[in-house]
Amino acid sequence: MTQQRKAKRAIVAAVHLASVRELEFEASLAELRQLAKTLGFEVAGTFTQKRAGFDKTAYFGTGKREELKELILANRAKIILIDHEISPSQAFNLEKEVGCEVMDRTMVILEIFHRHARSRIARAQVEIARLGYMAPRLREAAKQAGPKDRARSGTGGRSGGESHGELDRRKIRDRIAELQTELDAMALGRHTQRARRQERQGLARVALVGYTNAGKSTLMRALTGSEALVADKLFATLDTTVRALHPETVPRVLVSDTVGFIKNLPHELVASFKSTLDEALEASLLVHVVDASDPGFERQLAVTDEVLDEIGAKAVPRLLVFNKIDRGGDEAALRSNYPGCIVMSARREADIAKLHQAIAASFQGDLVEAELFLPWAAQKMRGEVFATCKVLEERADGEGAFLRIRGEPETVKRLREQFRVRR
């Protein structure tokens, strides 16, 4: 992890295109400030320009670049964060003209993922994405540096000590291939583990998905009694964790927490996190968590829907959950605009119980009811019945106990074959 001794002063900057509404432009800038803070920068100022398009050479127009240079000097800023993905040559030219480091939105997000990645899988996925992003930029730097193979101390993402010779195109491609092979092997291991687990237990699956910071991990903890990482920063979670719904339900339901989404999630990341996001595809229910207190929640909701479509999860049933209602949001409007949604706060126990109930109920539609008769001689099987089914009613007579149960068809069939059934 990169150590930050003193917060680096940053300027957040963007071209405001005519096609982008004021509100949306401001929300995106606010989000970039939040991303900057997550990286440990101190945002010293904001710089914008209204323009019909991006300047081909250096993103901002000529006169504006002069203004930006002055703002940087006045604020003693060390880095400019651009709220778009810009080309390698635009970044290079802008850096040269304004005299400080330039990072675009994609690089900022990649850097956060890089710092937060913990598991081998997450690390490999982020590295593939970063290499894919860096390759054309290193080529551009090499081109600008001329024939001499000088190392460039430019954009923030590159680890030190690598010259262009070492990181040429072919080497990057080889490294990506190597990481991909590693990932495939790890994913295979996970798949067989998962397949085995599912075969054994036949569990129902739910995935928590949504925009970054919506409260997915908080709900994961509350719903499963687990210790998922919760943090008020963007992209706190990069690994998928899986836990059973607690208190346990019939059938047992497994819940997984997933990586958060964001506007303009770099396509490199979507591609490389595909295997992690496959968790979401395997689920039979997606719980889409939205921060109801965020004024830009509609946009965040739409972005999540887009990414879910992109990874092929369009057909998976959804439960829309508006969280953080204790912080704000119009509960009545949400209920009427999004029929069937849940409006709640992760801070309220009763709300968590309601969500727990809604998730469990969505899997109970497939259950069947039956009545079993357990002779007194077979009472040691009671444990199995109680563990695999919900016992709705119990009556005893001289010969044994009647149990009215509800469970998955296969379990119920097996139990009925084992025990005498009296209707």
**Helices (H), ranges, 312-381:** 331-337, 349-364
Residue placing its CB nearer to ligand GTP in the complex, 39 or 86: 39
Q: What angle do CA 393, 394, 399 make, to 5 degrees?
A: 150
User: Nearest residue by C-beta to ligand GTP?
Assistant: 260
User: Nearest residue by C-beta to Mg ion?
Assistant: 237
Q: Which two tokens stand for residue 55?
A: 């300047």
The C-alpha atoms of residue 12 and residue 32 are separated, in whole angstroms, by 7
Residue placing its CB nearer to ligand GTP in the complex, 115 or 382: 115
Q: Which of 64, 102, 65 is nearest to 84 (CA)?
A: 102
Identify the burial level of 315 via C-beta atoms within 10 angstroms of its C-beta, where 0-12 means exposed, 13-18 middle and 19 or more buried: exposed
Report the Cα 89 to chain-centroid distance in Å.
31
The C-alpha atoms of residue 155 and residue 86 are separated, in whole angstroms, by 13
- Nearest distance, CB of residue 226 and ligand GTP, angstroms: 12
Under the binding rule (CB under 6 A), the answer on residue 218 touching ligand GTP is yes
- Nearest distance, CB of residue 215 and ligand GTP, angstroms: 3
Under the binding rule (CB under 6 A), the answer on residue 217 touching ligand GTP is yes
Helix, strand, coil percent values for the chain (each to nearest 5): 45, 20, 35
Under the binding rule (CB under 6 A), the answer on residue 212 touching ligand GTP is yes
> Could you give the count of Cα atoms lying within 13 Å of 281 in the half-sphere of its Cβ?
13
Using omega within 30 degrees of 0 as the cis cutoff, is the peptide bond preceding 247 cis? Answer: yes
Q: Which residues pair with 49 in a beta bridge?
A: 15
- Nearest distance, CB of residue 175 and ligand GTP, angstroms: 28
Under the binding rule (CB under 6 A), the answer on residue 231 touching ligand GTP is yes
90 binding partner (options Mg ion, ligand GTP, none; Cβ < 5 to 8 Å by kind): none
Under the binding rule (CB under 6 A), the answer on residue 234 touching ligand GTP is yes
- Nearest distance, CB of residue 257 and ligand GTP, angstroms: 7
Under the binding rule (CB under 5 A), the answer on residue 237 touching Mg ion is yes
Identify the burial level of 203 via C-beta atoms within 10 angstroms of its C-beta, where 0-12 means exposed, 13-18 middle and 19 or more buried: middle
Under the binding rule (CB under 6 A), the answer on residue 296 touching ligand GTP is no
Return the C-alpha torsion angle 188, 189, 190, 194, nearest 10. Answer: 100
Under the binding rule (CB under 6 A), the answer on residue 232 touching ligand GTP is yes
Question: Could you say which residues in the range 255-274 bind ligand GTP, by CB under 6 A?
Answer: 260
Number of residues that bind Mg ion (CB under 5 A): 4
Q: How many CB atoms lie within 10 A of CB 77?
A: 25
Give the binding range for Mg ion (CB under 5 A) out of 139-147, 176-184, 210-218, 248-256: 210-218
- Give the residue, chosen from 125, 217, 272, 345, that forms a contact with Mg ion under the rule CB under 5 A: 217
Beta strands, E only, 25-118 = 41-51, 79-82, 101-104
Under the binding rule (CB under 6 A), the answer on residue 323 touching ligand GTP is yes
- Nearest distance, CB of residue 271 and Mg ion, angstroms: 21
Under the binding rule (CB under 6 A), the answer on residue 251 touching ligand GTP is no
Residue placing its CB nearer to Mg ion in the complex, 71 or 352: 352
Number of residues that bind ligand GTP (CB under 6 A): 22
323 binding partner (options ligand GTP, Mg ion, none; Cβ < 5 to 8 Å by kind): ligand GTP
Under the binding rule (CB under 5 A), the answer on residue 236 touching Mg ion is yes
Q: What is the largest CA-CA distance in the chain?
A: 96
Pattern 346-365, ligand GTP, x by CB under 6 A = xx------------------
Interacting residues with Mg ion (CB under 5 A):
216-217, 236-237
Interacting residues with ligand GTP (CB under 6 A):
212-218, 230-232, 234-237, 260, 323-324, 326-327, 345-347
